Amino acid sequence: MPSQPPSHPAARHVVFAVAPELVLLDACGPIEAFWRAELAMRAASGTLGTSGTSGGEPCAYRTTLASVAGGVLPTFAGMPIVTERLDTLDPGTIDTLIVPGVPIYDTADTATTLQPELVAWIAAAAPRARRVASVCTGAFYLAAAGLLDGRRAATHWRNAAQLARRFPRVEVDPEPIFIRDERDGRAVWTSAGVTAGIDLALALIEEDCGHAVAMQAARRLVVFMKRPGGQSQFSEALTAQASAGAEFDALHGWMAANLHGELSVERLAEQARMSPRTFARRYVDAVGRTPARTVAAMRVEAAAHALVQSRRPLKRIAADCGFGTEQNLRRAFERSYGVRPLDYRARFAAS
């Protein structure tokens, strides 16, 4: 059942605390999502003008982009942005504090890449905010401020090991696209990189305004789907392609398009123009797992997509994704996601 928007007397103030070399999409993606939710709320209340905007006060969110020094801030993409000074903000007015990412290189001393003034401001302001979040390597700032101690946290997969080494009190999970960790009545959200920040923002919007508004925001953004936080940072096809290099690129594309058919080692070997024995050996050497495990993972992922993107019955999805029977689909899905397929659909479907 869709969640209902809680009553709130005023627009929620979302502050993005940013550092020099900001990764633009880490901030701009979520800001755009909050604005699309604002448009959806205005449309529902009848305050949306013909131009798609309104001169009135915001009814859902107002966002502020702020930095230590304020003014023009250089970004990683080279495009400067204008920010407010953090010390001009009243922390008591901040509903949601979000820290976007900056480039952090494996060869550099992590501590030297973080602004001490920004770390100190986050540590002081965070306890007064209703919730705190980071996008991508913004998790390094939350960790440096002590906000992730004893918590599960996500970040970009390339920086996960580095975050764990630098901050051993943080339980870093490199897999999910975002994580909500609530302790002592306070929620801290962390997400993977770039587009995962949009998924995080949509989850925050759903928590505040309900499923319908979040889906309206997602539709306005024309995102492919509203992804649940537990989803892996990689699609199974992309993971397999990245592991194997170019040798099996065409095969993985063919597998993804033919999940409904027979994908035995013999059939895959034929498609790859190898003997079954040679194919099985070279595939494991290149990908690090058997062909059967790749097929199984791709089928479960395809079923998850079908559940949230369509109203097709389980029997049809099981056939389309190569499971044969509903029972096989249920078993595979519960092993991978820990929930039943229809429960997954009820939680994440577009309508």
**Residue ranges, CATH 3.40.50.880, the chain:** 12-221
Report d(CA 203, CA 311) in Å as an integer: 22
Which pair of tokens denotes residue 76?
């990683």
pLDDT score at 85: 97
For the segment 166-223, what is each residue's pLDDT rounded down to a tens digit? 999 999 988 788 899 998 888 999 998 878 898 899 889 989 998 788 888 887 886 6
Chain centroid to CA 288: 26
**Strand (E) or helix (H) holding 329:** helix 326-337
pLDDT block averages, 10 residues each, the chain of length 351: 41 95 93 92 70 62 96 92 96 95 73 85 96 96 96 91 94 87 89 86 90 82 56 50 64 88 94 94 88 90 84 93 93 84 75 49
As assigned by CATH, the class of the 12-221 domain is alpha beta
- The beta strand positions in 173-294, using DSSP E, are 178-183, 186-191
pLDDT score at 237: 52
CB atoms within 10 A of CB 163: 24
Report d(CA 211, CA 4) in Å as an integer: 7
Q: CA of 244: how far to CAs of 186, 274, 351, in Å? A: 42, 16, 37
pLDDT score at 47: 65
125: CB partners within 8 A, 6+ apart: 17, 86, 89, 91, 94, 97
Does the predicted model carry a pTM greater than 0.95? no
CB atoms within 10 A of CB 25: 21
- CB burial of 305-314 (b: ≥16 within 10 Å; e: otherwise) equals bbbbeeeeeb
**Which sequence positions are flagged as catalytic?**
136
Which pair of tokens denotes residue 20?
């020099």
pLDDT score at 43: 84
pLDDT score at 110: 47
pLDDT score at 184: 80
> Topology of domain 236-348, per CATH?
Arc Repressor Mutant, subunit A (1.10.10)
Considering the chain, what is the average pLDDT of its residues? 84
What percent of the chain stands above pLDDT 90? 52
For the segment 328-337, what is each residue's pLDDT rounded down to a tens digit? 999 998 888 7
Phi and psi (nearest 5°) for 103? -65, 130
41: CB partners within 8 A, 6+ apart: 59, 60, 209, 213
**Residue ranges, CATH 1.10.10.60, the chain:** 236-348
**Strand (E) or helix (H) holding 17:** strand 12-17
pLDDT score at 234: 44
